[in-house]
Amino acid sequence: DSGVTQTPKHLITATGQRVTLRCSPRSGDLSVYWYQQSLDQGLQFLIQYYNGEERAKGNILERFSAQQFPDLHSELNLSSLELGDSALYFCASSVSGTANTNYGYTFGSGTRLTVV
Amino acid sequence: EDQVTQSPEALRLQEGESSSLNCSYTVSGLRGLFWYRQDPGKGPEFLFTLYSAGEEKEKERLKATLTKKESFLHITAPKPEDSATYLCAVQAPWNSNSGYALNFGKGTSLLVTP
């Protein structure tokens, strides 16, 4: 157990629907990062939050949004889902706004999203 | 734009057959190069961070090295339990798009057979 908790583990939904993925960071970590992993693209950075504020934005679609709450858990909202959104979504955390010297980011076990 | 390229995409080794995985990168002002291991259906697990050319780090049968353009992950006398996907990532200086986010390569899928 890495200490980063992601729920749900699996999600199957229909095109056009909206889903919410949840992440609880490792205790003491202030930064949360969201990544999307597909077979052809590898791990793609979506967005980062640090202590409740958006810190950096990567290749995140306008249909996707995220937030980090006062208790530091984060949610990734995916709307108007398309078949191509099927992927593994990972959350990672770190103490500071950058990767830790000794262990980089700590990743959760991911949410596998299947859009049918 | 920063780029990370890993080769080969897939590698099959016999148990005990040593080899190396390559990670080539182009980034201005590398802050760190990270190696992760990922098992099927699981999140990446941190292995090493390297910061400057010439640096080496070891962990059990794995040894990571860094030059100004690439990093190698050497696997000595691998065992079947070393089978996994190995990911390389770079951290560049802060930029307005991705902040300090790690930029990952697509990985090398390693299979070690008995």
Domain borders along chain B are 3-94+102-107
Read off the pLDDT band of A19 (50, 70, 90): very high
Q: What is the pLDDT of residues B38-76, one digit of tens each?
A: 999 899 999 999 999 999 999 999 999 999 999 999 999
CA nearest A64: which of A24, A18, A108? Answer: A18
Tell me the nearest-neighbour CA distance from A21 into chain B, angstroms.
15
pLDDT for B47 equals 95
pLDDT band at residue B2, thresholds of 50, 70 and 90?
A: confident
Q: Is the predicted pLDDT of residue A98 greater than 80, yes or no?
A: no
Q: Which residues are within 8 A (CB) of A33 and not within 5 positions of it... i.e. 6 or more apart?
A: A45, A46, A47, A48, A91, A92, A93, A94, A105, B101, B102
How many angstroms from the chain centroid is the CA of residue A13?
A: 18
pLDDT (tens digit, 9 = 90+) per residue, A40-96? 888 999 999 999 999 999 989 999 999 999 999 999 999 999 999 999 999 999 987
Dig out the tokens for A11 from the structure. 């999600």
pLDDT-based confidence at B88, cuts 50/70/90?
very high
CA distances from B4 to A72, A81, B87 (A): 31, 29, 10
Q: Which residues of B touch A66 (CB under 8 A)?
A: none
> Is residue B21 within 8 Å of A74, Cβ to Cβ?
no
pLDDT at position A59 is 84
Band the pLDDT of B94: cuts 50, 70, 90.
confident
Torsion (CA) B42, A93, A34, B8 in degrees, nearest 10 = -50
In this structure, how many other beta carbons lie within 10 angstroms of the beta carbon of residue B10? Answer: 11
pLDDT exceeds cutoff 70 at A99:
no
Cβ of B100 within 8 Å of Cβ of A56? The answer is yes
Among A50-54, A111-115, B89-93, B96-100, the range scoring the smallest mean pLDDT is: B96-100
Cα–Cα distance, B94 to A36 (Å, whole number):
21
Identity of the amino acid at A18: R
Give the pLDDT score at A41: 82
Task: State whether B43 and A45 contact (CB < 8 Å).
Answer: no
CA distance A108 to chain B (A): 6
Q: Do A104 and B46 touch (CB under 8 A)?
A: yes
Cβ-in-10-Å burial (0-12, 13-18, 19+) of B64 comes to buried
Q: Which CATH superfamily is domain B3-94+102-107 in?
A: Immunoglobulins (2.60.40.10)
pLDDT at residue A102 greater than cutoff 70: no
C-alpha span between B39 and B86 (Å, rounded): 9
Q: Does residue B28 sit at the A interface (CB-CB below 8 Å)?
A: no
Residues ≥6 apart with Cβ < 8 Å to B107: A42, B6, B9, B38, B85, B86, B87, B88
Report whether pLDDT(B85) > 70: yes
The answer to whether B71 contacts chain A (CB < 8 Å) is no
Q: What is the mean pLDDT of chain A?
A: 93
| Mean pLDDT calculated for residue range A23-49 | 93
Query: How far is B89 from B34, CA to CA, in rounded Å?
Result: 5
pLDDT over 90 at B92, yes or no: no
Contact between chains at B46 and A109 (C-beta distance less than 8 A): no
Q: Are A116 and A15 within 8 A, CB to CB?
A: yes
What pLDDT does B39 receive? 96
